[in-house]
Amino acid sequence: MPHTAPHYLAQGPRVAVRRFRMEDGDEFTARARESKDLHRPWLVMPDSDEAYADYAGRLIGDAGRAGFLVCEKDSGGIAGFVNINNIVRGGFQCGALGYGAFAHAAGRGLMREGLDLVIGYAFGPLGLHRLEINVQPGNTASIALARGAGFRLEGFSPAMLRVDGEWRDHERWALTAEMRG
């Protein structure tokens, strides 16, 4: 898929992160369709033009959210995404992370690098103090990513979040700017 030179917010050795754009829809939805088996039942991603427009529109136009695409530096292709949802300012300065790798990029360490870049951006330019991740207990890959990024397990919430039509239990993980050091 052709790529234009995007504006990266942060770069690592193999990946860079940038904001979502409406023109990313074709690539994002194609990758989402290719990755359905990888994500079910943990995550449902937009896999049509209409669903992507709604999803990306919320990330682009809502000050309470920030969406980042993790892109491979050599090709510019989208490897995955990290979103910061439910950003609360004031005394809290917190956001909740959601993320996913696309099947072609899974298991290659690209999301670990991309997550680290987003965390740095969140605690730096975005001025957040705390990030939270809510993960279904059986999602071992997502838990490993949270743990590897330095998040600590803070608790368990039964039937916390509705995913794919079901109320699902979640573990709550968190990281503060001080923990990152």
Q: DSSP for the chain, please give it.
A: --------SEE-SSEEEEE--GGGHHHHHHHHHHTHHHHTTT-----SHHHHHHHHHHHHH-TT-EEEEEEETTT--EEEEEEEEEEE-TT--EEEEEEEE-GGGTTTTHHHHHHHHHHHHHHTTT--SEEEEEE-TT-HHHHHHHHHTT-EEEEEEEEEEEETTEEEEEEEEEEEHHHH-
Taking only the tens place, the pLDDT of each residue in 103-119 is: 999 999 999 999 999 99
Taking only the tens place, the pLDDT of each residue in 148-161 is: 999 999 999 999 98
Evaluate if pTM is beyond 0.85.
yes
Whether the CB-CB separation of 121 and 10 falls below 8 Å is answered with yes
What is the spatial distance between Cα 126 and Cα 61, in angstroms, rounded to a whole number? 16
pLDDT above 90 for 2: no
Taking only the tens place, the pLDDT of each residue in 4-19 is: 556 899 999 999 999 9
What is the spatial distance between Cα 175 and Cα 150, in angstroms, rounded to a whole number? 7
Taking only the tens place, the pLDDT of each residue in 55-84 is: 999 999 899 999 999 999 999 999 999 999
Whether the CB-CB separation of 173 and 157 falls below 8 Å is answered with no
Q: Please tell me the number of Cα atoms within 13 Å of 140 on its side-chain side.
A: 1
Q: Please tell me the number of Cα atoms within 13 Å of 80 on its side-chain side.
A: 27
Please identify which residue in the block is written with the tokens 């999803």: 55
What is the spatial distance between Cα 74 and Cα 173, in angstroms, rounded to a whole number? 32
Whether the CB-CB separation of 25 and 31 falls below 8 Å is answered with no
